[in-house]
Amino acid sequence: MPLTSPVPPLDLVRMFPGVEAFARTATRLHPRPGTPSVSGSHVGGMLLWPRDEPWPACPGPHVVRTEIEVPPEFAGLLMRPSPEVMTGLAQQVPGFVGTMTTEAGTVVLGREVVSEPTASPLVPVAQLRAADVPDLRCPSGADVLQVLWCPNDHPADAPTGLPMLLKWRTASAVVDPLDVAPAPVVARDQDRLPRPCVLHPEQVTEYPWWQELPDELGRRIRDFDDTRGFDEDSYFSVSQAPGWKVGGCPSWEVSDPYPMDCPHCRRPMDLLLTVDSTEDRGGDAWLPVEEAHLRTSHTDHTPTGVTVGRFARLRIFVCLTCPDTPMGQSLQ
């Protein structure tokens, strides 16, 4: 079933003449739970991977969450712990981050660095075919993008960003595909293990963040948005689609825009893929017409099960002109 974005509730071209010159297309992927084919476009699930090609892995070390059960007779002390108790826990529990109480009992939460004897296989995140995704631009000779990452956190002194691999390949060259991906040795949480989803690609039009527009035009947009109430449609809510998408415009609501330049040629990289923690960012401006009868909820609109950062967006940028297709990441 196709999924279709509704007619925008604001006519941005009429309201802000000149903004049309900066329009870009994006392809909303609309991932929904399903059983994807190994050769098709999908999130999660098995990739079209040659049997004789080594599967990539992360050597670590990894930071994993620990849970220490608290005996019932002491659980009451952690309901409203004193500063002394919190200080003691911080001294005794590696990477202490707090406590959690559920119906099963109370646990003390920590984080520890773990070094595995063998490297941990990367997890398949997405496979996208240029034939399915209009805004997917591939390097010369490739027609498929495969995205893999390590699902674990890494020590603070590790390179920034998720350890990730972008694999560009030609689908017809894979004649003897691998049947099953190797499982990671350790997985931080379920929120970086994508559920298998089929895609319903839809090309839409987006407009840049106000600070990336000419000064006078951007200021008019910002002044307009400053007049909008919390539940009212705005340039911010209408100009860019939420959810997983290819291409389009990055948003910069957490920080001012900063350069995403290629480390080799120093030219601006292109926004390749947005991995979003939700398919809905509030309001109905982008709720698919076919799902309008379903009210938005955390459960309904996190079909991939993936959460990045604190319910944020991970944007992946690439340079398609330099060898090896350099990549950059931005989390907002």
Residue ending a domain, among 101, 116, 131, is 116
Q: Would 182 be classed as within a structural domain?
A: yes
Q: Would 45 be classed as within a structural domain?
A: yes
Do residues 138 and 203 share a domain? Answer: yes
Q: Would 191 be classed as within a structural domain?
A: yes
- 3-class SS of residue 42: strand
Per-position DSSP letters for 106-144, written without gaps between them:
EEEEEEEEE--SSPEEPEEEEEEETTT-TT----TT--E
Do residues 112 and 28 share a domain? Answer: no
Q: Which domain holds residue 71?
A: 62-116
Cα–Cα distance measured from residue 201 to residue 38, given in angstroms and rounded to the nearest whole number: 17
Do residues 76 and 195 share a domain? Answer: no
Contact 116, 109 (CB under 8 A): no
The pLDDT score that the predictor gives to residue 70 is 87
Q: Which of 16-25, 188-197, 272-281 has the lowest mean pLDDT?
A: 188-197
Contact 29, 243 (CB under 8 A): yes
Do residues 143 and 34 share a domain? Answer: yes
Contact 242, 27 (CB under 8 A): no
Do residues 35 and 71 share a domain? Answer: no
Do residues 85 and 212 share a domain? Answer: no
Q: Please tell me the total count of domains within the chain.
A: 2
Which pLDDT band holds residue 298 (cuts at 50, 70, 90)? very low
What is the pairing mode between strands 105-114 and 245-247? unpaired
Do residues 262 and 144 share a domain? Answer: yes
Phi/psi of residue 53, each to 5°?
-100, 125
Residue among 170, 177, 173 nearest 139 (CA): 170
Q: Would 6 be classed as within a structural domain?
A: no
Contact partners, residue 242, CB within 8 Å, separation at least 6: 276, 278, 279, 280, 281, 286
Q: Would 301 be classed as within a structural domain?
A: yes
Cα–Cα distance measured from residue 45 to residue 125, given in angstroms and rounded to the nearest whole number: 8
The pLDDT score that the predictor gives to residue 84 is 86
The helix (run of H) or strand (run of E) holding residue 317 is: strand 313-318
Cα–Cα distance measured from residue 194 to residue 203, given in angstroms and rounded to the nearest whole number: 23
Residue ending a domain, among 116, 136, 151, is 116
Residue 299 confidence (pLDDT) above 60: no
pLDDT in tens, 303-317: 999 999 888 999 999
Residue 274 confidence (pLDDT) above 80: yes
Do residues 284 and 272 share a domain? Answer: yes
Q: Would 246 be classed as within a structural domain?
A: yes
Per the listing, tokens 């712990």 go with 81
Residue 104 confidence (pLDDT) above 90: no
Do residues 148 and 208 share a domain? Answer: yes
Do residues 112 and 254 share a domain? Answer: no
Do residues 307 and 190 share a domain? Answer: yes
pTM of this prediction? 0.89
Do residues 87 and 182 share a domain? Answer: no
CA 249 to centroid of chain Cα atoms: 15
Q: Residue 324 belongs to a domain with what CATH number?
A: 2.30.320.10
Across the chain, what does the average pLDDT equal?
92
